[in-house]
Amino acid sequence: MADIYREWRKDERLQNIPFVFYTATYTDSRDEELALSLGAARFVVKPLAPEAFAALLPQVIEERGAGWPVAPAQAQPAPEETDYYRQYSKTLVRAFRKR
C-alpha cells in the first residue's frame, strides 16, 4: 500500500498530484491513519460506486489547488523510517490474517 505512494512522492513528475488510496484490502482504521500520515489526500475503502468515487476527485483537486500540503520527496530516509516499516508490516499482517 504505502510503497507505491512513497515512490510516487519521489518522482518529480508525480509528486504534486494528489494521491487517493482506493483499497479493498487495507480497511482498518490504522491503515487509514498510516495512509493519511504519509500525505495521501484521501483514503477510500471499496466498494464505492464509480460515480461517488468520481465525485471525490474534483474535491481533492480543488483542495490541492488551495494549498493542500504536499510533503517534499526525501532523498535520504527519514528518521522515522523504522517506525514506518513497523507500521507497514503490521498492516500487511492484518491484511493476510483477513484472508
pLDDT for the residue 53? 93
Range of the domain at 13: 2-98
Say which DSSP state 79 is in: T
CATH assignment at residue 84: 3.40.50
Grid cell of 44 as nine digits: 477510500
Chain-wide mean pLDDT for the chain?
Answer: 80
Would you say the pTM of this structure is higher than 0.75? no
Per-residue pLDDT reduced to its tens digit, 61-81: 888 776 655 554 444 455 566
Number of domains in the chain: 1
Contact 63, 42 (CB under 8 A): no
Residue that wins the pLDDT comparison between 93 and 59: 59
Residue type, 64: R
Contact 89, 96 (CB under 8 A): no
Query: What span, in angstroms and rounded, lies between the C-alpha atoms of 53 and 30?
Result: 22
